[in-house]
């Protein structure tokens, strides 16, 4: 294997490692919410810098690769890797926000059992995993499927937003809790958005068609519930 190929492999491996850290952060932040576990939430806050460091590292590898004047496809792949890393970093930020809001929620009694939020988290993380795997394994079809799923999470967020709004009107004492839950729901919706951004870049990369901004259809659900 040439040195160049080795570096390309390293780029992909770092991305996979970063994605797995981001996934773990989201999973832990949600478990901390459901189990009302402040310590677990705190671990998400403490580990955020690991994800941040990955972004720096991936940028450096990418710049190195770009400097070696490879073929056009590799250029695109490398710049897409940088974009993916930026999206993963923001998924990590969303996990931090979920963890923080979970800690705030733990200072009051729980409003009701969480059903929709864990479901949204599962969907968003599935989308993220599929998008990353589509990138690594050159599967634009799989990436397209991720883009199509974005509206599912958007709809759940919108529905939950409506429910929580009515709840606040009926029981003003729950307002601060409802607000925290709205923010968490919005974070999960945003994680799905980042997965969608990654998937759109992967489709573009492998099909050289820019579906990122191909028209209203993809974006008609862009502003769900906030």
For its own copies, the closer CB: 102 or 140: 102
For its own copies, the closer CB: 113 or 170: 170
Q: Is 170 exposed, middle or buried (0-12, 13-18, 19+ CB in 10 A)?
A: exposed
| Nearest one of 76, 26, 75, 77 to 51, comparing CA atoms | 26
- What is the nearest approach in angstroms of its own copies to the Cβ of residue 226? 5
Question: Do 117 and 193 meet the contact criterion of CB atoms below 8 Å apart?
Answer: no
Q: Is 87 exposed, middle or buried (0-12, 13-18, 19+ CB in 10 A)?
A: buried
- What is the nearest approach in angstroms of its own copies to the Cβ of residue 177? 11
- What is the nearest approach in angstroms of its own copies to the Cβ of residue 147? 15
Q: Tokens 């993220």 belong to which residue?
A: 128
Residues that bind its own copies (CB under 8 A): 49, 52-53, 55-56, 59, 62-63, 66-67, 69, 72, 75-76, 79, 82-83, 86, 93, 96-97, 100, 165, 168-169, 172-173, 175-176, 179, 182-183, 186, 210, 212-213, 215, 222-223, 226
For its own copies, the closer CB: 66 or 126: 66
Q: How far is CA 149 from the centre of its chain?
A: 14
For its own copies, the closer CB: 77 or 125: 77
For its own copies, the closer CB: 16 or 183: 183
Give the number of other Cβ atoms within 10 Å of residue 111's Cβ.
Answer: 15
DSSP reduced 3-state for 101:
helix
- What is the nearest approach in angstroms of its own copies to the Cβ of residue 210? 5
Q: Apex CA 132: angle with CA 129 and CA 136, to 5°?
A: 135
- What is the nearest approach in angstroms of its own copies to the Cβ of residue 130? 22
For its own copies, the closer CB: 43 or 126: 43
Q: How many helices (H) and strands (E) in the chain?
A: 7, 0
- What is the nearest approach in angstroms of its own copies to the Cβ of residue 76? 6
């Amino acid at each position: 294997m040439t040195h160049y190929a080795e570096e390309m492999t390293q780029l992909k491996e770092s991305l996979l490692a970063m994605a797995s850290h981001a996934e773990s952060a989201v999973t832990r932040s949600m478990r901390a919410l459901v189990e009302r576990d402040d310590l677990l939430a705190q671990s998400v806050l403490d580990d955020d810098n690991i994800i941040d460091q990955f972004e720096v590292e991936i940028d450096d590898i990418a710049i190195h690769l770009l400097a070696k004047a490879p073929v056009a496809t590799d250029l695109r792949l490398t710049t897409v890797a940088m974009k993916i890393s930026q999206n993963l970093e923001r998924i990590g930020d969303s996990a931090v926000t979920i963890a923080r809001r979970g800690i705030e929620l733990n200072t009051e009694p729980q409003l009701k059992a969480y059903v929709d939020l864990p479901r949204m988290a599962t969907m968003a993380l599935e989308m993220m995993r599929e998008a990353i795997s589509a990138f690594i394994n050159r599967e634009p079809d799989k990436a397209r499927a991720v883009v199509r799923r974005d509206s599912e999470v958007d709809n759940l967020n919108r529905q939950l937003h409506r429910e929580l709004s009515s709840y606040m009107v009926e029981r003003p004492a729950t307002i601060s809790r409802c607000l925290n839950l709205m923010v968490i729901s919005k974070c999960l919706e945003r994680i799905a958005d980042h997965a969608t951004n990654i998937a759109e870049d992967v489709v573009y990369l492998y099909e050289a068609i820019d579906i990122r901004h191909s028209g209203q259809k993809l974006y008609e659900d862009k502003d769900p519930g906030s």
